[in-house]
Homo-oligomer: A and B are copies of this chain.
Amino acid sequence: MLQQIEHIAIVVQDLEAALHVYRDVLGLPLVRIEEVPAESVKVAFLELPRGGSHIELVQPTDTESGIARFLSKRGEGVHHICFRVENVAEAMSRLLSAGLELIGQEVRVNREGRSYIFVHPKSTHGVLIELYEVKSS
């Protein structure tokens, strides 16, 4: 079902400071920086040269959002792991049949029209997992 690691999202306090490490020292190419007011975050997208995976550095832009609360409770670090799947609706039905708990009851769709769901860390041994639909070409 899981096809590929799409991205690893890392919550950081200061996007510029984190870019210094991940882009300038570790050498990951920066794809773009995006403000997402709906989620009160600023996100830097970096790309691994091989394997099709990305690193997303996520900085909260307020103190109330889910990301801001995560940061204040747990500190900087890995927020979630996103995997590509062929079909999110099928994946969701399989997860629910197996008794796993999702975050939210429905498949969500992002601004690019791609479907995704989040699986609750209590069902995945402590890892917040996103499943993201990308049809194989």
Interfacial residues, chain A to chain B (CB-CB below 8 A): 1-5, 8, 10-13, 17-18, 21-22, 24-28, 48-53, 57, 75-78, 81, 83-84, 94-95, 98, 100, 121, 123-127, 129
Contacts and interface: CB of A to CB of B under 8 A. Distances in A.
Given A21-B100, A77-B121, A127-B77, A49 B4 contact: yes
Copies of this subunit: 2
Given A77-B121, A126-B76, A2 B26 contact: yes
A127 B5 CA distance: 17
A94 B126 contact: no
Contacts of A8: 5, 8, 81
A24 B124 CA distance: 12
Contacts of A12: 125-126
A13 B78 CA distance: 19
A8 to B, nearest CB: 6
